[in-house]
Amino acid sequence: MLPLAVRQIRVPTAGRPWTKPDRLLADKGYLSRFNRAGLRARDIKVTIPERDDQIAHRRKRRGRPIKFDAAEYKGRNVVERCFNRLKRWRGIAMRSDKTARNYHAGLRVAAALLWAHTVQDKQSTITLMRTRRARRR
């Protein structure tokens, strides 16, 4: 499922759409040979922590540890918080749509509304700060 999701990435630009991320951050559930091989074939760097059972297995068989950048992995919480905000929408959290197209459309609507709400909050914060500054003078 992960290689399929990565293949569907399309970021519009002035020219050709951008289709390959520089790095993929994921949790321990996505660490498998199949996922790693698919990402390696597309030359995508991976930051996924190693599971405890795999560490123990590697100690028995003397394998090379996977590359893991802990500082890079700390930035993953921003994405996780965004997913949690999107999951406040019942349809997205429960995946109750019959087709992938409808689910994707709902996801886009929720993301657009979340973005608009965030922009509105930032604007109101800026206005509030300007009002406070004006009162001090």
The domain total for the chain is: 1
Q: Please answer whether residues 18 and 54 qualify as being in contact, where contact means their C-beta atoms are separated by less than 8 angstroms.
A: no
CB-based contacts of 130, cutoff 8 Å, min separation 6? none
- Return the pLDDT at 40: 84
Residue 57: which domain range? Answer: 1-74
Return d(Cα 114, Cα 136) in angstroms, integer: 33
Residue 79 within a domain: no
Residue 112 within a domain: no
Q: Which residue, among 50, 25, 36, has the nearest Cα to 3 in the 3D structure? A: 36
Residue 83 within a domain: no
Looking at residue 29, what DSSP letter applies? G
Residue 103 within a domain: no
Residue 23 within a domain: yes
- Return the pLDDT at 28: 78
- Return the pLDDT at 137: 67
Return d(Cα 106, Cα 21) in angstroms, integer: 24
0.75 surpassed by pTM: no
Residue with tokens 């991976």: 46
- Residue-wise pLDDT tens for the chain (137 aa)? 677 778 888 888 888 888 888 888 887 777 787 888 888 888 888 888 877 777 777 777 776 667 777 788 887 778 788 888 888 888 888 877 788 888 888 888 888 888 888 877 777 777 777 777 777 76
Residue 90 within a domain: no
Residue 91 within a domain: no
Dmax over Cα atoms in the chain, in whole Å? 71
Residue 46 within a domain: yes
If one counts every other C-beta atom within 10 angstroms of the C-beta of residue 66, the result is 15
